Amino acid sequence: MTNTLRIAAIADLHVKKTSAGAYHELFEQATRNADILLICGDLTDYGYVEEAQILAREISSSLRIPALAVLGNHDVEAGNEEEIVKILTDVGVTMLDGGTYEYRGVGFAGVKGFCGGFGRRALGAWGEKAIKDFVHESVNEALKLENALVRLRTPQKIVLLHYAPIQATVNGEPPEIIAFLGSSRLEEPIDRYRVTAVFHGHAHRGSPEGRTKGAAPVYNVAMPIVAQMSPPLRIVEVPIDASVAA
């Protein structure tokens, strides 16, 4: 006998210093429509501590289900990553950066990810040191994801990213920036560990969904994408064993 876990996901909130009250209804809708909320990066607009504090107040006053999150590129802009993680952790958000989380028999793994391009057009670690460092950042994020997935023993595995693991969900963006929206190096561990579903953000003008080579569904949950849905969240149900559904 099985039941389902309702997962709500969104990314790119870009909370500003003027955003107080702007996300109250969103978090209430998440509470009504889902069992757990995933926030896939760019929680803040410039990575300011004040922005994280506003988001923390919105979450603590309006959200009544567990929340998991990863950082995005905007969150690291001001160098306040540690403070942002602490502020959100203090209001109950589980921040993932190579870590895992299990809820009602479903395993979650999350990293920020990085860019570098897709498939045969992905940038290789050759030439200038700056290029090698850039590629190594992408490789390290993929290894971090792999190390998280290997620790999960759950039948259902969900991945949170900020950057995209496939090109399909960034198609629609200007071609010149496609390589900076994700990396197919993230796709390999997703398929090797038979991930159930992947959620990412970052590509505001991308496509809402696609699949990895191994057929894992990938959802782009950037706010401009999911804003067209009702409620403005991507909600996906995954089956769980009834014995852990309570």
Query: Tens-digit pLDDT profile for the chain (246 aa)?
Result: 459 999 999 999 999 999 999 999 999 999 999 999 999 999 999 999 999 999 999 999 999 999 999 999 999 999 999 999 999 999 999 999 999 999 999 999 999 999 999 998 899 999 999 999 999 999 999 999 999 999 999 999 999 999 999 999 999 999 999 999 999 999 999 999 999 999 999 999 999 999 999 999 999 999 999 999 999 999 999 999 766 655
In terms of Cα–Cα distance, which of 5, 199, 14, 213 is closest to 111?
199
In the chain, where the domains are located: 2-244
State how far the Cα of 207 lies from the Cα of 121, in Å rounded to an integer: 20
Question: Residue 218: helix, strand or coil by DSSP?
Answer: strand
Three-state secondary-structure class, residue 159: strand
Which parts of 145-208 are beta strand (E)? 156-160, 197-200
- Tell whether omega for the bond before 66 is within 30 degrees of 0, i.e. cis: no
Select from 3.40.640.10, 3.60.21.10, 3.30.230.10, 3.20.20.140 the CATH code of 2-244.
Answer: 3.60.21.10
Catalogue the E-assigned strands of the chain: 2-10, 36-40, 67-70, 93-95, 99-103, 106-110, 156-160, 197-200, 209-211, 217-220, 234-241
pTM: 0.96
Q: At residue 193, what is the residue type?
A: Y
CA distances 6 to 9, 33, 243, Å, are 10, 8, 16
DSSP state, residue 171? B
Closest C-alpha to 165, from 130, 192, 128: 192
- Which residues sit opposite 70 in a β-bridge? 40
Give the full edge-to-edge strand order of the sheet including 106-110: 99-103, 106-110, 156-160, 197-200, 217-220, 209-211
How many other CB atoms sit within 10 Å of the CB of residue 195?
25
Q: Which residues pair with 183 in a beta bridge?
A: 117
